[in-house]
Amino acid sequence: MDPSVFPLPTAAAHQWVVYLTARCNFSCDYCIQKGRIVPGAKRKPWGRYEELPGSRWVEALNAIPVRPEHTLILTGGEPTIHRDFYEIATGLRGYRIDLTSNLSFDVDRFIETLKSEGTVLHSSFHTYHPKFMEPEDFVDRARRIRDSGVIANPVFSLLDLDAFPHFRDEEHDANLRRFHEIAGRRGLRYQRNEFRGNHMGEPFAHDRKRPMKCTSGWVNFAPDGEIYNCQYHLEIRKNAFGNVTALEECRPLPVFGTFFPCGDYGFCDPCHENSGRGAYMDEEGGIFRRTGDDSRIYLRWMDPNEVLEVARRHLDEGRLEEAEHAFLAVIEEGGEDRTPPEVWADLGLTLWAAGERERALGSVLQAIELGSRDERTLAAAVELGREVGERERVRNVLCRFLPASRILAIEEAVASAFV
């Protein structure tokens, strides 16, 4: 092929990514490589591909006359479950190879194969998944990879889901605590990665499109060899430019900085703008990229009982504003008078901790009106009444439901506790 008409962008802004497979041996519900991120909905493959065999990948990629300035990333899915992974990893020539993986592969075989073939990967990126691997196992695998010499710059990481209890449970958190402890004790350095599950304040939901201009610094090779500059189009097999096995027939991909019209904005992959390799242009010519994640957008897809668990975890972990929002979402869904009193009580305690005393008092009194007789709620009402100058209001409510002797005992206990 004449390099002067080479169709694939190779400048420093562009990243070449080879998706060896769409399959993965893990099924995380927060995985961005799925049609829509819903808490509790496990990842499924984008589709069934006729995956290129290793020999075709090696032959096609080695025949490319112009190489990217960045690493060539081997990814998936989980790339190591491709049946010819080792043939590909050791057979490519003239590339700086990067591997992204969940580190579930046979580490001994990996090290032995690469050493026997004289292959050293330029870099790699391995992420710990608390629900699918014991922390001791991951740390052991990571240290062996790190010390093997077959990867020049291995990076180990975990996804930062601290602000997203929607995707965590006790098992996840317990394994994560052990991971921090074990990795620190054994000297394994790792980084925390931002969760990219939404874009510009909108959920990664695949439920609304609108026209937009786009630019992309990605060259994506699908498992069947088709070439795209958009991961969403790769997933749904739309707008392919050609195939890696027939580059002479490939249409040129637009270079980064060239904005082209697209009608699929809203279905974009959340990593599109990662590392500055993508951006959008609105009708006024304004160029924008993604903003930080908003954990609240996931509440709309969750069962009210699951939202309640999220709210209580936010409260336990000190994210008072998020806890308030989640408790209010439960109340809005169920109706003020039909919401269980303990939800109102928890909302009241959240507001109290946030310094919203008058609103807190209203919430705990609503809990009492709806039937709460919990000592903590009753005591909170008495103390909040004192703090906001509403003692008589509180006493009038309590008198409707409690004998005078119990009210007096609660008031004495609160006075003693808050002296």
Q: Which helix (H) or strand (E) holds 307?
A: helix 304-316
| CATH 1.25.40.10 domain span(s) along the chain | 303-417
Q: Render the burial of 365-401: b for 16+ CB within 10 Å, e for the rest.
A: bbbbebebeeeebbbbbbbbbeeeebeeebeebbeee
User: In the sheet where 287-288 sits, what is the strand order?
Assistant: 260-265, 210-216, 278-281, 287-288
Q: Say if CB 215 and CB 260 are below 8 A apart.
A: yes
Q: What is the CA radius of gyration of the chain?
A: 27
Tokens of 8: 């694939």
Question: Would you give per-residue pLDDT tens digits along the chain (419 residues)?
Answer: 566 679 999 988 899 999 999 999 999 999 888 777 888 888 887 778 899 999 999 999 999 999 999 999 999 999 999 999 999 999 999 999 999 999 999 999 999 999 999 999 999 999 999 999 999 999 999 999 999 999 999 999 999 999 999 999 999 999 999 999 999 999 999 999 988 887 766 766 677 888 999 999 999 999 999 999 998 899 889 999 999 999 999 999 999 999 999 999 888 877 777 667 889 998 899 998 877 678 888 898 899 999 999 999 999 999 999 999 999 999 999 898 999 999 999 999 999 999 999 999 999 999 999 999 999 999 999 999 999 999 999 999 999 999 999 999 999 999 888 76
In CATH terms, the superfamily for domain 303-417 is Tetratricopeptide repeat domain (1.25.40.10)
Instruction: Supply the DSSP string of 41-54, one letter for each residue.
Output: -----S----PPPH
| CATH 3.20.20 domain span(s) along the chain | 3-281
Instruction: Supply the DSSP string of 94-138, one letter for each residue.
Output: S--EEEEE-S-S-HHHHHHHHHHTT--EEEEEEEE-TTTS-HHHH
Q: Domain 3-281 has what CATH class?
A: alpha beta
